[in-house]
Structure 1
Amino acid sequence: MSPAACRGNPSRSASASAVVVDTATGYHLLKIEGYSLTKGIPTSLSLKSSQFTVGGYRWRIDYFSNGDCADSADYISLFLSLDERANKDVKVRASWRFQIGYTGNVDKPPSLSTAKACTTFGVGPDGSWSWGYDRFIRREDFEKSDNLRDDSFTIRCDIAVVRRFRAEETTEILPVEAFVSVPPSDMNQQFGDLLETEKGADVVFESPVFRAELYSSMKEGDTAGVVRIEDMEAQVFKLLLRFVYTDSLPEMGNDDEDVMCQHLLVAADRYNLERLKLIYEEKLCSYISVDAVSNILALADQHHCDGLKKACFHFLASPGNLNAVITSDGLKHLSRSFPSLMEELVAMLAPLLSHALVI
């Protein structure tokens, strides 16, 4: 390569890292039986749970049926206490969250991403042996709710104890264009071909599959050329037709765009609309996440979306992403339903998996 060419296209390196928080998580269930009797306990006095351990530290839940102080006497107060006062030097950082419900309805863990901000238990200027809510719920509102049944309910406290913060290398951050390239529109060329050949109709010139279905129905005696579309939502087919006629697509709401993108990719593959398929491959690349990567990878494999598949592999090549997907059981579905895809993934990630992956 000439020096001039090098100047015109300078080399550029890119790398990425992530700050990872190592945590130990756990929860405790405190069942309150005979709630009506606990209402006789004076304000500022609590009922305590038995001692339990999370992250190597001992904890208790404090339940105040009439609030922990006069200002919260109309409320139920809940506090999480670090039961390590004998160790005067202890200092623990933890996130935590309470939820209450009728017994048997608190088995599903709440999201600690919306938990109380990480707080310090124990010694230190910002530390306290106990953190919680003076006014967790107004007692009158609680008694009218479905959470109290047969004069009993259960308190669940989830805890994530912070062990350490560490930095780790991740894969290079690549733009979507590195995986999927959408060609420019060729609608003018296709209209020109239609005019020259005088074959087909405007709705079929872009899709050979649709053309074959239409001509097949006409040969079978359906002179109106009616084609019945099975196994496809009407809204999806409407958007597909919009693309065929206008070579454009409307803006979709953020709440359902990822789901609609998957439907339209499947429809585009079914009708051999290659450019539309690439458009939605490109869009789905931006929706790859810990929760979604397994489903998107399976979809990419089923519909021969090589660029989208590479983007999923690239995401999983990050140790942090891979560990998060493994922890959330995101690979179990692939292992059961797509064994050959799983083998391909394991082979690609072999250097990382030697110490991280057990399926």
Structure 2
Amino acid sequence: MTMAQTTRMANVDSALVHLRVNCKQLLEFPAGEALSCDVVSVGGQLWRIDLSPRGIRPNHRHVSIFLRHLTAIFEPFFLGKDGRPSPKITKCSHANEYDACSSIRSCADGNVTFVCAIVVVNQLHPAPVPPPNLGGQLGRLLEDDGTTDVSFVIGGETFHAHRAIPMARSPVFRVQLFGSMFPTLAPMVLHDISPATFRVMLRWMYTDAWPAGDDGSSPVDMFRDLLAASDRYALHRLKLMCARKLCHNVVPTGRWRGGGSATTTTTHTTTVEDLDSALVHLRVDYKHFMRLPPGVALCSDVVSVGGQQWMLELYPRGKRAHHTYTSIFLRHLTRSSSPRSTVKAIFEPFFLGRDGRPSPKITNWSHVNEYDESSVTRRNYVFCADENGYPHFFKRHPLAGTYVIDGNITFLCSVVVVNELGPDPVPTSNLGEHLGRLLEDGSSTGDGMMMWTDVSFFVNGETFRAHRAVLAARSPVFKALLFGSMMEATMTSSAPIALHEIMPATFDAMLRFMYTDAWPEDDEPVGDSSSIEMFQDLLAAADRYALDRLKLMCARKLWDVVSVHTVVSILVCAETYDCPELSKKCLDFCARNENFKQVASVDGYALSVLKFPSITGELIEVGASS
């Protein structure tokens, strides 16, 4: 008797097969012959387990078990009286053989039971859905001057753009472009902003990606100007991004105590979530190092870590007279306006040998110090509220010949700042959200709202208003329709563009996807007949308007709801609109022995086969094989 329990997870199908065999029959079975279980369907393939009680050869002393058919992961177990796999019988989990022993004779209810796990890795899987690319497509649209409808003049330079994008991103541009100034077609002149800053800000409004400053100006100047512009035009996210960049690039005016030409500082900074870290290489002239008196420091350049300024102070003869140790400290230079502010820094210095590695013989200290401005103590030899470090870093002695390279010695210092009071967090990208609100505003019935749109569509009795720039960026079909040979006709006519072979609900979902790049909301659960029909209609529309990502998303949704009652309609949809992975999935489903007969008996099967002869041959072949 055979019982099978099948499970499917991601790209893996599995089955637990219980093979129950009469004990007396098992012992009397001749060598070389097999008991076979019922055929089991796993992963769209047919399998059979063969059990040879006396092995496959004469005088064989083992019970053998085999999986017949295609490659799979096969794991058999022999069950004891307690219903659990017997470790005494099963020698290895991957083997195909079991030791024959007297335990088989003392079986329960005259039967012995084998449990076999079959796992089939499905090489067939749906086509991957690419990541959202709304910003990338809008960025390419910005480079196409043939589709622009507004221009800006800044410092003698002219920039072309699309009204819908700045208006969606900035309430200031919304007033300027679609308020009382809307009827004018003359270029808009902007003051108090440089061409380089406007160029970066405009690209950010289209792409929502961090701009790259390639105009040769210093990063700090660029970020500062961009922050001022984003504040002026109410670009909140860009403003926070600039503030965070400036927080990590602040350099104080004036010069702190420095080592002059005696020191060279190289810094590599890293930011991970709430931690900012820097590796500082401090290279020191050895002769200068040896000549300095007690209490005099060699200082690094100012280092910015975690939005704070720090400086390394190295005392070759310590901070006090008769000091026999070299001391090293991390000095905090930033002053907070809040007396209760907390800045925590982990400071760990090392002395590098000639091989470029930290020297364990020189560095006696390797534990971590923590600086907390809110509760400064003298613990860890902290001398004042500005310092954190090691007064006994290493005992002073000649270093020449062992650690000096080209007349210099090198210190490597790790500085980690915990950003408990760091800059305001930057919100996630909201480009799709902004465009979604633009679509909702343009769909409103008020006359003031209608003027924010520049194109409308008539779909089966319903009118939809939209923006040419967004549709052209997302779909090459709409770009050809709105900016191709028909551009003049569609621009001069106030009549809506009539679209056929698409339903209003489908067009509404497709339109929202083009604006937001997000999956359209549906109130009905996936698997409901109406939702499956919606996905099929949306897939057809995505294919018609070359929305490749939406098409793959619909195909993935349909992939997950293939069943006896839906497989034929999904197969027809996949074959019609060129979804080969989805078609293969449907045919593999029909190939399963227990499925095809049920599929063939479903209402509408015969009509579908006659209506779509392209799938007839494949289904007939599947039916013959099953």
TM-score normalised per structure 2: 0.29
Higher relative contact order (CA 8 A, sep 6+): 1
Whose Rg is larger?
2
TM-score normalised per structure 1: 0.48
